[in-house]
Structure 1
Amino acid sequence: MKIGEVARRTGLSIDTLRYYEKLGLIDPPWRQGGQRAYDDNIVKWLNFIKLLKATGMPLADVETYARLRREGERSSAARREMLEHQRAVVLAKIAELQECVELLDYKIMNYAEIEARHRAEDGRKDQTHDH
């Protein structure tokens, strides 16, 4: 498939795809009539790269992972270790975000209680003024 199709299917820009090629994250495509041509596996690989980046993995580590991937099965232990490390990073971030959600929930509840008290006080004031 042509680079535009890869961009459309992955949501990455053509410039990003060329940059990834330059960095060695993706193998140089073969040429078909002077244009880049990619096989279907590139979409799965690019989606995996997007996932790694979404986890917060530094681009240098993604580059290392891509290099190890080219080595095949003999690098499986190193790649597994990288993924285990990144998984721990993600779990720590999830725990941090859960604490943030709990604090936000507390603050939201607190403000809702304050607003309810003010409405109740305003309601009592309105009743005393009606008489």
Structure 2
Amino acid sequence: MNIKSVAEMFELSIDTLRYYERVGVIPPVKRDKNGYRNYTTMDLNWVFLAKSLRKAGLSIESMIEFATLAQSPGDVSRAQKEILHHQLQEIEKRIEEMEQTRELLIHKIATYDDHVAQFQAGPVEEKDIEQLWKMTHVKMSE
């Protein structure tokens, strides 16, 4: 499969695909007799993995390390798995933070009209102001 087809398939630019290969995010793609890239199923898997990991927030440096390990002799599976495990932990942390923010937004939307009416009615005393950070379903991240 040629680079244009791969770019369209994964909704990436041709420049991004070339960059990923140049810096080592994906292993080198074999070329045909005219020097054009000829993507194999294995290459497509690498592009898909790179796009997915990047979307999940993995740094270019970590992606390069992962791909470099894959091309190294010997058993590198433990090191690769550790990179993936670390990223999974980061994603889980972000999901938890987003869920907390979601709960806050749900609360704010549900109580918005009451809050606006309270403030439009006149000055609000300090004791009557909601302490959002103390809500049980909204925790402050450290």
**Amino acid aligned to 2:71:** R
Q: Which has the larger radius of gyration?
A: 1
Deviation at 1:31, TM superposition (A): 2.1
SS of the residue aligned with 1:99? helix
Structure 2 match to 1:51: 52
CA contact (8 A) 1:10 1:47 kept: yes
CA contact (8 A) 1:30 1:38 kept: yes
Q: Which runs of 5+ in 1 are unaligned?
A: 119-131
Map residues 24-43 of structure 1 onto 2, 5 A cutoff. Answer: 24-32=24-32, 33-43=34-44
Q: Which moved more, 1:98-107 or 1:39-48?
A: 39-48
Structure 2 match to 1:121: none
User: Given the alignment of the two structures, is residue 97 of structure 1 paired with residue 98 of structure 2, yes or no?
Assistant: yes
CA contact (8 A) 1:49 1:62 kept: yes
| In structure 1, distance between residues paired with 2:109 and 2:74 | 51
Structure 2 match to 1:111: 112
**Amino acid aligned to 2:13:** S
Q: Deviations over 1:64-104 (max 9, x none)?
A: 01111112660100111111111110110001001100110
Higher helix share: 1
**Amino acid aligned to 2:2:** K
Question: Percent identity among equivalent residues?
Answer: 35
In structure 2, do the counterparts of structure 1 residues 72 and 107 end up closer, same or farther at CA, with 3 Å as the change threshold?
Answer: farther
CA contact (8 A) 1:3 1:38 kept: yes
User: Given the alignment of the two structures, is residue 10 of structure 1 paired with residue 10 of structure 2, yes or no?
Assistant: yes
Structure 2 match to 1:63: 64
| In structure 2, distance between residues paired with 1:56 and 1:34 | 33
| In structure 2, distance between residues paired with 1:46 and 1:64 | 15
Give the CA RMSD over aligned residues: 1.9
In structure 2, do the counterparts of structure 1 residues 70 and 83 end up closer, same or farther at CA, with 3 Å as the change threshold?
Answer: same
| In structure 2, distance between residues paired with 1:48 and 1:59 | 12
TM-score by length of structure 1 reads 0.80
When the two structures are aligned, how many residues end up with a matched partner?
A: 117
TM-score by length of structure 2 reads 0.74
